[in-house]
């Protein structure tokens, strides 16, 4: 087991953990939580032997294999599959030794090494590595590509796959979901639930924590406290403890006030001096209970959105992509004021492409786009942090965004995002006057959100806005989005954010978009069914080919039906119009015939009226004959085309 005894851990003069005493038993899955900068990553470094305790003990089994996710990935020439396999160091050692033994024809040694390969399940290692790559969103062809071909975010996924490949006793994961899509997060969640070793997990995703961990170790004010249960249970227990602590504090303050009132009243009276002195001593002995500090440092909200047009954006049969490559086709979407849409879809399906289209970052390849008058878009991209100027402070960014605003108003606004003022005239940490270059990812994300919110959009387009944000900031963002009175389209792997802020979901899949009739649990089931189908198709390529042909046939039949309907529709409409006209004309002609058959009309003839009636009768007869002939012709054409 891992055991801390009166542990003290510091970085320089700053004490991170003090008097920590707890045990983590083998097989436990523990979430490590706490504010950014409180020392969570330093505890990981302690367990990996990179730091040493300043006081107390940190004991763990000396023979444990520890796996962690590397933060850097060099531009290697080896394939992605080989890079992942490198995570199993014993496998690589056995393979290396086996190659040496085969070179000198050492038969007995070769037999021993093949036996060890069997014991460590080495023969299936490439298949397991490929399954890890697939689960983390890599397509089949990626396994053979060199590591140097991948971007930074995909290299982080490779590092995660390498850590999962390790047959570890202790797995340390620090924000593993930051670079993952929702489908990869759901897959990783299941993988970690099945992991048999001991897991220590740092994450700001409360749904992910709830699904994976059975204990939570919370680091707060240099104290490390272990709670049983998932993250929701931890929140409940901690809330009860803080409420109890606050109640004790309030009760104590009332007792102190009562005692002090008695002391002040009777201190000078000789008859009451003894009682007053005893109460003074009671005040001195009373232990001070700190007030519970549970308020988040983030207190921001969206400024009122300007009036939005209705509809905001209309897309009709739109195709969009990059260059000549089409990513999404036949997009039909109407955004209305106040709508809150969450985009679902597997990695690479085109969710970010759709967001960029709505933001005006990409032009349509075909189809029609219509923007309402008064549209004001606020767009948060996945790489929004790269648009910040590293040499400028948050205050300078805000002043450049709104030169007319008062500096104090900007300072007050940034304070809601935890960018504070200077101390003794010197900028401390992520202050309003510090250059944002050295800021952490979370601090930069907070600044990017602050800039976005100040613009007062009536349409928010958010592509993974929670990357690098801690739990408190995510909670604050969730509350702010719930109160936002404009429209929103959101892509996120944070299911708590999606569930709390979206009214409906749209699925992006197969180059199309469609409304998803279900919740996030239904989407998880949909992903599982898609993965099962993909495995079945891979096992039976002929069946897959047949399925592809059937799909092509269905698509062709649908296209033919659509073309037929396009030809039938105007004919059906014309036939309906002819029937209405014929009914009206025939009724009018019947009335005319009856009037002209009346002898009284001829007894006292009005020659002008009679001529008008006879003329109208002739016109109606001619119109009816022509319309009936055309109706028969239309019906013949419809019969030739066949039924719908």
Instruction: Assess whether 580 and 634 both reside in one domain.
Output: yes
Helix (H) or strand (E) holding 167: none
Instruction: Assess whether 384 and 479 both reside in one domain.
Output: yes
pLDDT digits (tens, 9 = 90+) for 375-400: 989 998 877 787 888 898 999 999 99
Cα distance between residue 485 and residue 55, in whole Å: 53
Residue where a domain terminates, one of 196, 219, 235: 235
State how many domains the chain has: 4
Residue where a domain terminates, one of 534, 552, 580: 534
Instruction: Assess whether 347 and 258 both reside in one domain.
Output: no
Band of pLDDT at residue 349, cut at 50, 70 and 90: confident
Q: Is 551 helix (H, G, I), strand (E, B) or coil?
A: helix
Q: Which domain holds residue 584?
A: 567-641
pLDDT digits (tens, 9 = 90+) for 432-489: 888 888 887 778 888 888 888 888 898 999 998 888 888 888 888 888 888 888 899 9
Cα distance between residue 58 and residue 42, in whole Å: 13
Cα distance between residue 488 and residue 336, in whole Å: 10
Cβ atoms within 10 Å of 492's Cβ, excluding its own: 24
pLDDT above 90: residue 427: no
pLDDT digits (tens, 9 = 90+) for 236-246: 888 788 788 77
Residue 545 inside a domain? The answer is no
State residue 356's pLDDT score: 92
Between the CA of residue 153 and those of 19, 176, 445, what are the distances in Å?
38, 12, 16
DSSP-derived secondary structure letter, 271: G
Residue 590 inside a domain? The answer is yes
pLDDT digits (tens, 9 = 90+) for 4-26: 999 888 888 888 888 889 999 99
For every residue of 32-79, DSSP letters joined together read: EE--TTSSHHHHHHHHTTSS--SEEEEE--TT--EEE--S-----SSB
Instruction: Assess whether 330 and 215 both reside in one domain.
Output: no
Could you tell me if 68 and 44 are in contact, meaning their C-beta atoms sit under 8 angstroms apart?
yes
Instruction: Assess whether 347 and 475 both reside in one domain.
Output: yes
State residue 255's pLDDT score: 73
- SS3 for 531-548 is HHHHHHHHHCHHHHHHHH
Residue 4 inside a domain? The answer is no
Instruction: Assess whether 177 and 231 both reside in one domain.
Output: yes
pLDDT above 90: residue 507: yes
Instruction: Assess whether 607 and 513 both reside in one domain.
Output: no
Residue 552 inside a domain? The answer is no
Give the pairing type, strands 29-33 and 198-202. parallel
| Residues in CB range of 298: below 8 A, 6 or more apart | 416, 417, 418, 446, 472, 473, 475, 476
Band of pLDDT at residue 293, cut at 50, 70 and 90: very low
Residue 219 inside a domain? The answer is yes
State residue 296's pLDDT score: 54
Instruction: Assess whether 162 and 47 both reside in one domain.
Output: yes
Q: What is the mean pLDDT of the chain?
A: 84
Instruction: State the pTM of this model.
Output: 0.70
State residue 488's pLDDT score: 92
Residue 395 inside a domain? The answer is no
Query: The CATH number of the domain where 476 resides is what?
Result: 3.40.50.300
Residue where a domain terminates, one of 201, 235, 269: 235
Residue 421 inside a domain? The answer is no
The region of weakest confidence among 5-14, 308-317, 597-606 is 597-606
Instruction: Assess whether 195 and 254 both reside in one domain.
Output: no
Band of pLDDT at residue 603, cut at 50, 70 and 90: confident
Instruction: Assess whether 319 and 202 both reside in one domain.
Output: no
Give me the mean pLDDT over the 561-581 stretch: 82
Give me the mean pLDDT over the 394-414 stretch: 90
Higher per-residue confidence, 285 vs 97: 97
Residue 14 inside a domain? The answer is no
pLDDT above 50: residue 323: yes
Query: The CATH number of the domain where 596 resides is what?
Result: 1.10.287
Instruction: Assess whether 251 and 226 both reside in one domain.
Output: no
Instruction: Assess whether 275 and 322 both reside in one domain.
Output: no
Higher per-residue confidence, 253 vs 228: 228
């Amino acid at each position: 087991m891992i055991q801390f005894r009166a542990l003290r851990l510091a970085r320089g003069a700053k004490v991170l953990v003090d008097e920590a005493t707890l045990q983590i038993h083998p097989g436990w899955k523990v979430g490590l939580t706490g504010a950014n900068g409180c020392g969570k990553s330093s505890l990981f470094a302690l367990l990996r032997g990179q730091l040493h305790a300043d006081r107390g003990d940190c004991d763990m089994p000396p023979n444990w294999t520890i796996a962690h996710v590397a933060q850097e990935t060099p531009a290697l020439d080896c394939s992605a599959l080989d890079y992942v396999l490198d995570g199993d160091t014993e496998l690589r050692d056995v393979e290396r030794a086996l190659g040496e033994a085969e070179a000198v024809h050492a038969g007995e040694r070769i037999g021993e090494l093949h036996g060890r390969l069997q014991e460590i399940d080495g023969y299936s290692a490439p298949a397991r590595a490929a399954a890890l790559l697939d689960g983390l969103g890599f397509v089949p062809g990626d396994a053979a590509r060199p590591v140097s071909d991948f971007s930074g975010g995909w290299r982080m996924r490779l590092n995660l796959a390498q850590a999962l490949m390790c047959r570890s006793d202790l797995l340390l994961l620090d924000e593993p979901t930051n670079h993952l899509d929702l489908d990869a997060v759901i897959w990783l969640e299941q993988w970690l639930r099945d992991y048999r070793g001991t897991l220590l997990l740092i994450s700001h995703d409360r749904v992910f924590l709830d699904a994976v961990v059975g204990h939570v170790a919370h680091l707060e004010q240099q104290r490390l406290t272990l709670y049983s249960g998932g993250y929701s249970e931890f929140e409940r227990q901690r809330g009860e403890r803080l409420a109890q602590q606050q109640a004790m504090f309030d009760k104590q303050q009332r007792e102190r006030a009562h005692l002090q009132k008695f002391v002040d009243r009777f201190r000078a009276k000789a008859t009451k001096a003894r009682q007053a002195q005893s109460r003074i001593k009671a005040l001195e002995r009373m232990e001070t209970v700190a007030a519970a500090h549970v308020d988040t440092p983030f207190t921001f909200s969206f400024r009122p959105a300007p009036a939005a047009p209705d509809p905001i954006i209309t897309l009709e049969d739109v195709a969009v992509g990059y260059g000549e490559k089409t990513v999404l086709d036949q997009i039909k979407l109407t955004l209305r004021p106040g709508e809150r849409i969450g985009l679902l879809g597997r990695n690479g399906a085109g969710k970010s492409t759709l967001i960029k289209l709505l933001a005006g970052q990409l032009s349509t390849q075909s189809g029609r786009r219509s923007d309402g008058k008064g549209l004001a878009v606020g767009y948060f991209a996945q790489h929004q942090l790269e648009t910040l100027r590293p040499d400028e402070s948050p205050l300078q960014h805000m002043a450049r965004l709104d030169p007319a605003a008062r500096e104090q108003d900007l300072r007050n606004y940034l304070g809601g995002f935890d960018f504070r003022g200077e101390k003794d005239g010197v900028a401390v940490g992520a202050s309003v006057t510090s250059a944002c270059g050295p800021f952490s990812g979370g601090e930069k994300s907070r600044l990017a959100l602050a800039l976005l919110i100040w613009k007062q959009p009536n349409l928010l387009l958010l592509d993974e806005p929670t990357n690098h944000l801690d739990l408190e900031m995510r909670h604050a963002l969730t509350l702010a989005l719930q109160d936002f009175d404009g429209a929103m389209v959101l892509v996120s792997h944070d299911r708590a954010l999606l569930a709390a802020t979206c009214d409906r979901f749209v699925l992006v899949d197969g180059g199309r978009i469609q409304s998803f009739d279900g919740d996030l649990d239904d989407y998880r089931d949909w992903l599982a069914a898609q993965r099962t189908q993909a495995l079945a198709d891979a096992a039976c390529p002929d069946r897959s080919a047949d399925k592809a042909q059937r799909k092509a046939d269905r698509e062709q039949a649908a296209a033919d039906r659509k073309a037929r309907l396009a030809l039938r529709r105007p004919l059906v409409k014309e036939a309906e119009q002819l029937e209405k006209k014929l009914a009206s004309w025939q009724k009018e002609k019947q009335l005319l015939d009856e009037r002209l058959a009346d002898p009284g009309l001829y007894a006292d003839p009005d020659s002008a009226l009679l001529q008008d009636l006879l003329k109208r009768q002739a016109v109606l007869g001619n119109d009816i004959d022509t319309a009936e002939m055309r109706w028969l012709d239309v019906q013949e054409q419809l019969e030739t085309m066949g039924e719908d």
